[in-house]
Each structure stands twice: as structure tokens, then as C-alpha cells.
Amino acid sequence: MSTVVRSWTEDDVERYAAAVGGTGMQPGFAIAVAQFGGPQVEMDADMTQVLHAEQSLTLSGELPLSGTVEVTRHVTDVFDKGSGALIVREWRATGDAEFSTRASLFVRGAGGFGGPRGTTTRLPMPDRAPDVELGFRTSADQADRYRLTGDDNPLHWDPVFAERGGFPRPILHGLATYGITARLLADELDVLAVGCRFAAPVFPGDELLVSAWRVGDEVRFRTAVNHTTVIDDGRATPRS
């Protein structure tokens, strides 16, 4: 476990907003604050073999346009999935804002160490038409924009590195897809908590379609590109 102090300004807020296609404070900005732009790996790993598996965020309210928080970071679990290791990490922030965020990373080829396997839970979407459908076409430079928030993983800008990871060209940051999805849901449904699983890569220029269903006191959602689900098991909590 470790604790760091993180501060931000209005310029940081607008830089993140541009990276997810909006303006002003966006929910996903809290993740950029807590995770220094992107999730980190708690082992010596080949980054071409690291995939972002899951992400969640819970806010107590809207963040101020500038502020300072103390962020406590720790690894909650390391699961042995056989073909790889799943590392789960959590960040909790207190100060001028209060929030928590959780991320899991899958490290291909790092399994088989005899650890607990963990459980896998899937969240089915309702068997009916979505209550809300929200679209956004990413730009060809969307990954370049998101890189400015602090997530400098070369998988998203270096063609050679991306090819080593098994992709034909650099892919969009999972947190960019998450941030765009969270922005659309927040604008339309005023959500404060968003959690999901990453299901497939997104490339800069792809058009995202977010389908959302109101189920009791929560919102369930998924995001797709050309009928391929890229974010699944989505669950969000409206402000009220």
C-alpha cells in the first residue's frame, strides 16, 4: 500500500475532456488523477502482453475544477487464470474530492503460479430494446489526445509495439473508450458510478454505440463498434 498527493487544475480538466470528446469536468477524470493517467502493473511484465480487463469508478459528487487529494493505492488480488495473471488494484482518494476506482489487468503468459483462480461474474443485459442509445465517432487522433492525459503506453501510439502485442495498428486506450462511455451516460442519465469489463479493442476512428437499460435503481449498459461488443457487463448508478 502507498499514499501519494495529487493535484489538478482547470487546464488538466479541459485536456481530459477533449480526450473523451467533451468539455468541462467529466466523470472519468477522477481515474486520470488517481492512476497517473493509466493503470500500472505490479510485476516485471512485457507490456505488449498486458491487457486492461476491467474498470470501475465511484464518485461522491462532481469533482471541483481544481483541487488536491490524497490517494491510497494497493493491490487487492492477484489471480492465476492459467493462461495469464489477473492483477486487481484499487485507489481511494480523500480531500477536495472523494472517490474510489478499481482496475484489473490481465498479463498474458504470467499464469500457472499456483495462486487462487478467482471467480468470473457476467452481467446479462435485458432481453428488450435499450431504453437509451448514445453514439460517438472517435477521431483518428483520439489516442493522441488521450495520451496527453498521462497514459503513455506505446500500445496506443507505436505501430511496432502494437504489432508485437498482436494488433494490426495502435489501439485506442481502454480508458478512453471508458471515459467516452461514462461521459455519454453522465450527460444522459446523470450517473456517479460506472463499472465495466473490456471485451474487444477499439481503434481510433471507430464509432461507438452505447446501449443502456434502466433496471430498478441502476443502469446496465454495453458499448459496441460495428455490432461487436467492446465494453460489456456495464453497470452504472444514477445520482438519484
The torsion angle over the Cα atoms of residues 184, 31, 57 and 22, rounded to 10 degrees, is -10
What's the pLDDT at 39?
Answer: 59
Question: Would you call 170 exposed, middle or buried from its count of C-beta atoms within 10 A (0-12, 13-18, 19+)?
Answer: buried
Question: Residue 86: its pLDDT value, please?
Answer: 93
Asked if the model's pLDDT at residue 61 lies above 60, the reply is yes
Handedness of CA 35, 39, 43, 46 (dihedral sign): negative
Q: Where do runs of H (alpha helix) occur along the chain?
A: 10-19, 29-34, 142-147, 159-164, 174-189
pLDDT at 123: 86
Average pLDDT over residues 30-53: 78
Map residue 65 onto helix, strand or coil.
Answer: coil
Helices (H) and strands (E) in the chain, counts: 5, 10
Task: Assign 35 a pLDDT band (cuts: 50, 70, 90).
Answer: confident
Is the Cβ–Cβ distance between 154 and 161 less than 8 Å? yes
pTM score, whole prediction = 0.94
Looking only at the bridges linking them, the beta strands covering 132-137 and 67-80 are unpaired
Would you state the cell numbers that stand for residue 226, as one nine-digit string?
Answer: 460495428
Buried b (16+ CB within 10 A) or exposed e, 9-34: eeebbbbbbbbbbbeebbbbbbbbbb
Which amino acids are annotated catalytic?
A: 151, 156
Which pLDDT band holds residue 200 (cuts at 50, 70, 90)? very high
Residue 235 has pLDDT above 60, yes or no: yes
Instruction: Report helix, strand or coil for 136.
Output: strand
Distance, in Å, from the CA atom of 122 to the CA atom of 125, rounded to the nearest integer, reads 10
pLDDT, greater one: 44 or 5: 5
Each residue of 4-20: pLDDT tens digit?
999 999 999 999 999 99
Q: Is the pLDDT of residue 43 over 70?
A: no
pLDDT tens digit sequence for 96-149: 999 999 999 999 988 999 999 988 888 889 999 999 999 999 999 999 999 999
Assigned C-alpha cell, 38: 493509466
pLDDT for the residue 1: 83
Ordered by where they begin, the domains of the chain are 2-238 (3.10.129.10)
Share above pLDDT 70 across residues of the chain, in percent, rounded to a whole number: 96
